[in-house]
Structure 1
């Protein structure tokens, strides 16, 4: 009897001990689960906070109006001898301009040949050999525009040579160029014989033939027209060539009859003729028809060089 009672007590003791262990294990698991939930909540809260911060930063950058820039496009032989004048011109205006330089292949701007840091690492890497009176000058312009258009903040594109100097300070120049939504292109109908080559027709008709200065200022829209041109530029490459130079300057065989040559200088005609061929006048003219002072606005059109010499198309 005593043995049975002892066995029963031992069994009850073991059961209670097992029950206590079970409760301890369950409590431990509950505590661990609770700890995991707290960590997950904190992590979620942190990620949510971080996500909110990133979203707010994105919205802030989206609504901040980024300032437009002018791209200064230099066509140079080698170095820029007047770089210090440009250095003073650009100083303190770093957020309002971009610089791109086209020089002969193989030439590299460094601290030994330029005194201005603004021209370091500003060369295009696909430059071509440029010869006066050849279509390679146009190709250099198109290369510069292609690089400058990559930056969406560049809204105006100014062509410059290595002998150009600024006559006014940067602020005045910037405000003047940005004050209008149009390009600045010197353009007039070239009626001199020997410039236009009839072989360029019909893609480049004679009534769209224009002449003017190479040093233009283009809006982004018109810069894209120049870069995307696949029709007018090939015609200039094939049929717009300068007259043969005298024998002691000549780099090509002189033709038998030089009177048949067309003394066409591509860079003096290309942009002006291209814009006329593309009927850009049509859109500008329609926008100005409703102004009160039509004579003044027409004069403005002549100044920027978009008159085509005939009545605009209504198509």
Structure 2
């Protein structure tokens, strides 16, 4: 009886010992797994997070005549981790060593470009194509539209900090009440109180870029009802069958982004100005040949340190249609208004760079 009782106690102790060993082993494994997970988490957290990028979206006819200027601008960002470049040029045009002097533009053309005509909805489509391509890169957080005649006024670091520090888009936008621009046929989709006008050279946050790319409501109305008036220089060669004075003079790229954001009720998320300086008032320009529907073009004789400093010092904008003057601000403090300027010929831009009037490093 004692021997039997001793055998039972021994088996009980063995079972307890095995159970205890199993529990200890399990705890050791759990601890090792926990330490491994922590190690992986620490490894991931120690990896540098990708820097938010600015997508520079160039709209060009063919090549970029001011590529040397932009090469000097982008060179300052040594890591090339804060920007990406996309160019919409004519279909089939390639940026390589034969067509550009800047390596930053090699292969940066979008492959689904279209033929663009000034004053037509094709300009809107080109902008949407650029945004669509840029949104494929997750790190792109800001999107800048630039023409092939734009120059930067400051170096990359200043430009990057200025743009990334603002939570808003920079979109020149004002209520357009001038008769003849708004087509009443759009009323059922785009009411008159949402009709806006401004510069196409906008800087967009990602949310607004996505809204533009995904728009299927406002764009069709623009394609049907927003067209420029026939240009006077074409009247002799192509007589009009209708009275031109009765045409609506709607320039799609000057209305689309502004009106679309108004339609979505997002105007409190924009700073109502463009960061690109353009001169439209040519009343004081020399020579009748420099007058027209297009902005003033700065030529070789115009390029000087005084011109650059004059544009850089602008700190307020007067909105004639609204009879108001607005002082520019950044991060809640007074600031300069413009980071870019247009339109510059290649000769004028190179003179600014060569003479030190334009300092980009």
TM-score for the superposition, normalised by structure 2 = 0.62
Which of 210, 214, 229 is the matching residue for 1:228?
Answer: 214
Mapped partners of 1:149, 1:250: distance in 2: 44
Q: Report which of the two has the higher share of strand.
A: 2
* Cα deviation, residue 146, structure 1: 0.3
Name the structure 1 match of 2:89.
103
Mapped partners of 1:151, 1:237: distance in 2: 28
Q: Secondary structure at the match of 1:263?
A: coil
Name the structure 2 match of 1:60.
44
Which of 79, 83, 86 is the matching residue for 2:67?
Answer: 83
* Cα deviation, residue 250, structure 1: 7.9
Q: Is the 8 A contact 2:57 2:86 kept in 1?
A: yes
- Kindly indicate whether residue 255 of structure 2 is the aligned counterpart of residue 269 of structure 1: yes
Mapped partners of 2:112, 2:195: distance in 1: 30
Name the structure 1 match of 2:100.
114
* Cα deviation, residue 57, structure 1: 8.0
Which of 166, 179, 187 is the matching residue for 1:201?
Answer: 187
Mapped partners of 2:61, 2:128: distance in 1: 17
Mapped partners of 2:120, 2:237: distance in 1: 12
Name the structure 2 match of 1:38.
none
Q: Which runs of 5+ in 1 are unaligned?
A: 1-47, 285-298, 305-315
Query: Which structure has the larger Rg?
Result: 1
Mapped partners of 1:88, 1:283: distance in 2: 32
Q: Is the 8 A contact 2:169 2:269 kept in 1?
A: no
Q: Is the 8 A contact 1:244 1:252 kept in 2?
A: no
Q: 1:252 to 1:118 in 2, by over 3 A?
A: farther
Which of 151, 167, 170 is the matching residue for 2:153?
Answer: 167
* Cα deviation, residue 282, structure 1: 6.4
Name the structure 2 match of 1:254.
240
Q: Is the 8 A contact 1:184 1:303 kept in 2?
A: no
Q: Is the 8 A contact 1:199 1:239 kept in 2?
A: yes
Q: Deviations over 1:85-109 (max 9, x none)?
A: 1001001421100000000002111
* Cα deviation, residue 253, structure 1: 6.9
Q: Deviations over 1:199-254 (max 9, x none)?
A: 11121111111110000000000100100100001100110001112364689773
Mapped partners of 1:131, 1:160: distance in 2: 16
Q: Report which of the two has the higher share of helix.
A: 1
* Cα deviation, residue 171, structure 1: 0.4
Which of 228, 240, 257 is the matching residue for 2:226?
Answer: 240
- Kindly indicate whether residue 56 of structure 2 is the aligned counterpart of residue 72 of structure 1: yes
Mapped partners of 2:234, 2:269: distance in 1: 49
Aligned residues: 245
